[in-house]
Structure 1
Amino acid sequence: MNKIEAYISSGVIEAFVLGQLSDAETKELLQYAEEHQEVRSAIDEAEETLFALGQKGSIAPPAQSKNALFEELVLQMESSASEEVKKDISESKIKKEAKSFSIYPFLSAAASIVAVIGIALSAYYYNQWQATENRLSNIIAQNQSMAQQYNVVKNQMDQYAENIEILRQPGIETVPMNGLDIAPEAQAFVHWNKKTNEVFLNAKKMPSNDMDNQYQLWAIVDGAPVDMGVFDVAGDMTQLLKMKTTSKASAFAVTLEPRGGSENPTMEKMYVIGQI
């Protein structure tokens, strides 16, 4: 891996797209982008990935912050309360001018009105605060979900990049293994490096196994099956599985065996096979 590939794989591209770089790091990245098309392409891919995640399910947070929203609610309620108080005071003045009763009953009534308004405003503010808290909690949860989705996609991209590095090694030969009658839709691929004897398995299209059994890879060497290791198929099978090494083989096959594997393959439970 050269210097530029290492720089791209370091995570600085994703940090730039998320706005997490310092000014100096941003300046350095932009300089690299001008000088190297690979860096520019990596930035574009990261931006497209983040945009796709946002389009898929994320809800953008509101333009106003929590404090700004609460301030607006307070101003609206104060304005509304002020109008109601003015109306009550105006009505009291009219009644005072129309009648010659004592002023004290009106003062008592006004005090009661102010008390009721105060209680109503307190309840309203509390309910609005709770609603705002709930909205903010939802926004935070949605953003956390988006971040988790981004991390999943990033991890998959990193794994794909690692797989590509394996497949680009000199001496790699790919052996497709197709499904037999027990599982016609099953398929797997063996990537065998004849220079290093390393064997990698892509089992993404194999059906999931249960807890009591495991798949076992076999290499056919001089007409006899040789154990190449056991494996499970569950969840995301993006990663290439590194199996045991072999210096020669005429075919590869996969059988379903009791957990831990068997000394000899169970022929009636052979799922896929591929000739070299």
Structure 2
Amino acid sequence: MKNKELIESGNLELYVFGLLSETETAEVAKIASEDDEVNKEIVSIEKSVIALSSSFAPSLSAENYNRIKQKLNIETKVVQFKPKSNISQYIGWMAAAVFLLGCGYLFNLQQNGVSEIDELLNQKSALEQTVSAKEKLNNQINTSYSVIKDENNVVVKLAGQAISPTSSAKVYWNNKTNKVFIDASSLPTPPDGMVYQVWSLKLAPTLTPTSIGLIDNAEDKMKYLIEVDGTVGAEGFGITLEPAGGSKTPTMEQLYTLGKV
């Protein structure tokens, strides 16, 4: 048999799996030792067997893989398999291949399932955050609308002072509940490390300031009415810029807005 015919006959695959007779095995081994093309084809078939096993058996340990690889000796010479005349042994090879294919298929299904679950959980988390943000925004809008429309609220306009003449603010003070809301949307965003502090003022007999809250959430929070601590008997309100955490007394050089009730 010519070498090209031998390669195309399928006998080399049977040789690799040890399914040829002793005479045929010896003949193929002799040809392989003399012909590089036949030898390379046998090595290629052996490598395909290794690749098939490793690709569909991801749990195959490195130790077992190296043991098989050493047994086949695919990098140096042709493997000399012993001939097997018992058809049950051939069936065993096929059963093992089917088993490996099945394991690989199930492993891939499991991995794909885990990835899909992770993706769904991420989408669920992102959706929950979006819903939470929308609910918070809706509550802020509803609260602001209710405060503005409440006839029991006294609106105190606070004008800009020397440090920031263009600044302004509004205080919504409910005489029945004593609740106080601040519209700080016309104040500049406070610098890093600084906050606005709101003061309830008694003007007589002496100026007596009482801190009723901080505005420390910068730009986004200042777009809506901000609730601070309630107050009783206020005669005026002021807002100063203070270090983070606030001050015990107002820094008059940093007085941004001021207004009388």
Please, what TM-score do these two structures have when normalized by structure 1? 0.49
2:238 maps to 1:253: yes
Q: Distance in 2 between matches of 1:172 and 1:274?
A: 16
Name the residue aligned to 2:133.
Answer: 152
Residues 129 and 221 of structure 1: CA distance in aligned 2, closer, same or farther (over 3 Å): same
Larger Rg computed on CA atoms = 2
Task: Using the TM superposition, give the Cα deviation of residue 124 of structure 1 relative to its aligned residue in structure 2, in angstroms.
Answer: 2.6
SS in 2 for 1:245: coil
Q: Distance in 2 between matches of 1:119 and 1:186?
A: 75
Name the residue aligned to 2:207.
Answer: 224
Name the residue aligned to 1:170.
Answer: 151
2:252 maps to 1:267: yes
Checking the alignment, whether the CA contact within 8 Å between 1:219 and 1:227 is kept in structure 2 is yes
Checking the alignment, whether the CA contact within 8 Å between 1:178 and 1:187 is kept in structure 2 is yes
Checking the alignment, whether the CA contact within 8 Å between 2:156 and 2:172 is kept in structure 1 is yes
Task: Using the TM superposition, give the Cα deviation of residue 130 of structure 1 relative to its aligned residue in structure 2, in angstroms.
Answer: 0.9
Checking the alignment, whether the CA contact within 8 Å between 2:237 and 2:259 is kept in structure 1 is yes
Residues 192 and 271 of structure 1: CA distance in aligned 2, closer, same or farther (over 3 Å): same
Name the residue aligned to 1:123.
Answer: 104
Residues 126 and 193 of structure 1: CA distance in aligned 2, closer, same or farther (over 3 Å): same
Residues 248 and 273 of structure 1: CA distance in aligned 2, closer, same or farther (over 3 Å): closer
Amino acid at match of 2:207: A
Checking the alignment, whether the CA contact within 8 Å between 1:216 and 1:254 is kept in structure 2 is yes
Amino acid at match of 2:251: T
Checking the alignment, whether the CA contact within 8 Å between 2:182 and 2:226 is kept in structure 1 is yes
Residues 103 and 199 of structure 1: CA distance in aligned 2, closer, same or farther (over 3 Å): closer
Moved more, 240-249 or 102-111: 102-111
SS in 2 for 1:261: coil
2:104 maps to 1:142: no
SS in 2 for 1:230: strand
Q: Distance in 1 between matches of 2:201 and 2:210?
A: 7
Report Cα offsets for 1:98-150 as digits up to 9, x if no partner: x9x99945543343133123212212320221122111221122123202321
Amino acid at match of 1:202: D
2:93 maps to 1:112: yes
- Counting only pairs closer than 5 Å after superposition, residues 36-115 of structure 1 correspond to structure 2 as 104=85, 107-115=88-96
Q: Distance in 2 between matches of 1:210 and 1:217?
A: 21
Amino acid at match of 1:157: N
Name the residue aligned to 1:10.
Answer: none
Task: Using the TM superposition, give the Cα deviation of residue 267 of structure 1 relative to its aligned residue in structure 2, in angstroms.
Answer: 1.5
RMSD over aligned Cα atoms? 4.1
Amino acid at match of 2:237: F
SS in 2 for 1:170: coil
Q: Distance in 2 between matches of 1:121 and 1:177?
A: 76
Percent identity between the aligned chains? Answer: 21
Unaligned runs of 5+ in 2: 1-12, 15-20, 25-82
Checking the alignment, whether the CA contact within 8 Å between 2:200 and 2:231 is kept in structure 1 is no
2:176 maps to 1:190: no
Unaligned runs of 5+ in 1: 1-90, 93-98
Amino acid at match of 2:141: Y
Q: Distance in 2 between matches of 1:163 and 1:133?
A: 45
Moved more, 132-141 or 229-238: 229-238
> What is the number of residues matched between the two proteins?
179
2:224 maps to 1:241: no
Amino acid at match of 1:253: G
